[in-house]
Structure formats: C-alpha cells, structure tokens
Structure 1
Amino acid sequence: MIDKHALKHALLAGMGGFIAILLLASASEFGAAALIMAPFGASCVLLFALPEAALSQPRNVIGGHLLTASVGLAFYLLTPNTALFAALAVGVAISLMVLTKTTHPPAGANPLLFFLTAKPLSIWFLLTPVASGAILLVLLATLYHRATGKFSYPVKR
C-alpha cells in the first residue's frame, strides 16, 4: 500500500514540474526568446521534489546554470569540438560549482549543450534560455511552494 503522504508529495512534485516546464515551453513557443533547455527538466526534480535541499536553492540553481553554461561557451569558442574538450569543460564546470558553492547537478549538463548542438550557440545563450529560464524556474518554484503550502522555499539558512 502506498503511503498517503508519499503519494501527495509525489503528485505535488510532478505537478510542479509539469507546470514549470509547460510555462517555460509555452513562453518559448509563443514568445520572442527561448526559455527552456533540457537540463531544466532535471532542475525541476530538485526544485519540486527536494525544495529544501541545498542543491535546490536559488543561488545553486541560477548560479550553477550560469557558471557551467559560461564554461561551456568558453570551451566551445576556444577549443576544438572534440570529446576531450567536452569532457574537460564538464570537469572544470563541476570544480567551479564546488569552489563557488553553487553546485546544482542538472547544470553539469550545460557545457555539453555547446558541444552537442547542431546549431552554433553564442553568448546570448547565457541570457536566454540560461539566465532567464533559471530565474523563472526559481520564481515559479517559490510561487508553487507558497501556493501549495507544503514547503517553505527558498530555505533561509
């Protein structure tokens, strides 16, 4: 038998992720700027299922995504597009997140976006979707958790 509290938590987390991605994807589809990228789906797991975790806090979500995307862009612009440099970009991004206390596991995928995309990405990618999408995800998580009353997000430490 499924625990009622666990079921409620699971459904609320899934609904939060659904709403957040639907809003970002819809805004991207009908707006002038992209607000979504694949790592944001993983960010939703942390934001809606584990909102009290340190890795889910705004500093980590926004800072982690911006930092790692910046590393990815730098490697993409300055090195050959090879497996070696893609892997090195991920490793450097992880190290920098740890050093800056902005660790957010989904952001570890960001450097790969630059190496795996068929369409060249530019510095504008850092603004949209990275910064704008991460900020909107944090705002949506804040509103969602306040509306559902299940968690206090962000956590004041």
Structure 2
Amino acid sequence: MPASISSSSCSSLATLIRHESNHHAIRPQWNLAIDPSTRTTRRRRPVVIRAAGNLAPNWDAWKPDKASKAPSLSDIFWPSAGAFAAMGVLGKMDEALARKGVSMTIAPLGAVCAVLFATPSTPGARKYNMFMAQMGCAAIGVLAFSIFGPGWLARSTALSASLAFMIYFRAIHPPAASLPLLFIDGAKFHQLKFWYVLFPGAAGCLLLCLIQEVVCYLKDNVKF
C-alpha cells in the first residue's frame, strides 16, 4: 500500500511539473514594436558657413561698365537736346499756369527725362511702369497727407507704401518715389488734392513720352 501511494504521488508530482513547464512555455509575448508611421523624426537644418573671401566688397560696381562701348557724340547730344527741349516746353507751360500757383517743372520730371532719354531700353522707361508708378505714388502721397498731415510720419509712410505699390504691380519707376514727398512738403500742391494724380506728374510724363519718340528717332538715324 505505501508503495502504491508513493508511486501515485510521484506520478502526480511529475504531471504537475509538466503542467507548470508547459504553462511557462506558452506564456504570450507582448509585441512592443512601434509603428514607424507614428514615429516622428527631427531633422537638423544644415548650417552653411561661407568663406571669408566672399564677404569682400565688389569693387567692380564702382567702375565703368567694361562691356559697353564708349558713346558717340550723337548718343550724347540728342538726349541732352531732348532734355533741354522738355524743360523749355514745361517752362512755357509754367508761364501760363503762374496765376494758379502750380509749376510743371518739378524735380521728378527731371529724373524722368534722364530715364526716358538716356536709358530708353531699361524697365524704368517702360510706359506701363512710368504711368502706373506716377499715378499710384501720387495718390499715396495725397492719402498719407490726408491721414497724417505734414511731417516725418507722412513722408515715411508714403515712401514705404510707394515702394510696396511699385513692387506689387511690377511697375518700378524710380522717379515716381519722389512724388509723395513733393506733395507732402509742397504747400502749393495741397489745393490740387487728388487731381495731383494726373497733374503735374502724369501730364508731364505724357509730354515727355512724345519728346522721347523724337529723341530716339534722331539718335538712331542721325549719327555723328
């Protein structure tokens, strides 16, 4: 009897050991892998360090353009003659407008003469650029004066707005940037109000365009 009990106990103990070993063998393993789609990576922006030699000033900008040939006498004479004729006509118009206290020989039109007669192929001499910039910048000057009155704030606001206007409308015409300042500081133009958009800037440019056609024709066909 004790032998059978001993044998039965050993059999039960062996069964329990096998059960425990199987239990540990089939224990589930948790999958701790991370989905690559949810993983965020932080990229470092490259840092570019330029050589010190690139910071040297470009002295070629201070020298005449070597690619362009020397101008002929006719290339100098006809633009200069056109500027003389333009200021002469505008001066005669001043005499007729003297009783109104308004002058046509304003400084921006002198700069327009230099652009139209000396560099007619540059973007600043395009008709669209000229008239769009002249009218837009003049209107900005009147508006800035109406809001801020005379002073540094009106001038600064008008000039910055004029540059933004020319860049946005792709109508870069450097002489037009002086029109707002001329209106703000020129008391004789205040009476014109928004008529200043057309006169004297746009009206003067129309006259200068007609003279430019004559100057360009003589410059191309009458050489000496």
TM bucket (normalised to shorter chain) is 0.7 to 0.9
SS in 1 for 2:158: helix
Q: 1:4 to 1:97 in 2, by over 3 A?
A: closer
Deviates more, 1:117-126 or 1:75-84: 117-126
Q: TM-score under structure 2 normalisation?
A: 0.60
**Is the contact made by 1:68 and 1:110 (CA closer than 8 Å) also made in structure 2?**
yes
Deviates more, 1:34-43 or 1:103-112: 34-43
In structure 1, what is the Cα distance between the partners aligned to 2:182 and 2:215?
28
Match of 1:144 in 2: 215
**Is the contact made by 2:116 and 2:125 (CA closer than 8 Å) also made in structure 1?**
yes
In structure 2, what is the Cα distance between the partners aligned to 1:113 and 1:123?
14
Which whole-Å deviations, capped at 9, do the CAs of 1:58-94 have from their partners, x for residues lacking one?
A: 1122221111111101101121322122112011101
Q: What are the ranges of 5 or more consecutive residues in structure 1 without an aligned counterpart?
A: 152-157
Match of 1:28 in 2: 94
**Is the contact made by 1:47 and 1:56 (CA closer than 8 Å) also made in structure 2?**
yes
Q: Given the alignment of the two structures, is residue 79 of structure 1 paired with residue 148 of structure 2, yes or no? A: yes
Tell me which of the two structures has the higher relative contact order, counting C-alpha pairs closer than 8 angstroms and 6 or more residues apart. 1
Equivalent residues in 2 for 1:1-12, closer than 5 Å: 5-12=71-78
Q: Given the alignment of the two structures, is residue 102 of structure 1 paired with residue 171 of structure 2, yes or no? A: yes
Matched AA of 2:82: G
Q: Given the alignment of the two structures, is residue 68 of structure 1 paired with residue 134 of structure 2, yes or no? A: no
Among all aligned residue pairs of Structure 1 and Structure 2, give the percentage whose two residues are the same amino acid. 26
Shift, 1:35, TM fit: 3.7
Matched AA of 2:213: T
In structure 1, what is the Cα distance between the partners aligned to 2:138 and 2:89?
22
Q: 1:111 to 1:75 in 2, by over 3 A?
A: same
Q: TM-score under structure 1 normalisation?
A: 0.83
Shift, 1:113, TM fit: 1.0
In structure 2, what is the Cα distance between the partners aligned to 1:93 and 1:5?
34
**Is the contact made by 1:61 and 1:138 (CA closer than 8 Å) also made in structure 2?**
no
Matched AA of 1:25: G
Larger radius of gyration: 2
**Is the contact made by 1:79 and 1:85 (CA closer than 8 Å) also made in structure 2?**
yes
In structure 2, what is the Cα distance between the partners aligned to 1:47 and 1:116?
26
**Is the contact made by 2:145 and 2:184 (CA closer than 8 Å) also made in structure 1?**
yes
Shift, 1:27, TM fit: 2.1
1:135 to 196, 206, 211: 206
Deviates more, 1:43-52 or 1:83-92: 83-92
1:14 to 70, 74, 80: 80
SS in 1 for 2:202: helix
**Is the contact made by 1:28 and 1:36 (CA closer than 8 Å) also made in structure 2?**
yes
In structure 1, what is the Cα distance between the partners aligned to 2:149 and 2:70?
52
Q: 1:4 to 1:70 in 2, by over 3 A?
A: same
Matched AA of 1:70: A
CA RMSD of aligned residues (A): 2.2
In structure 1, what is the Cα distance between the partners aligned to 2:93 and 2:160?
32
Q: How many pairs were matched up?
A: 148
Match of 2:60 in 1: none
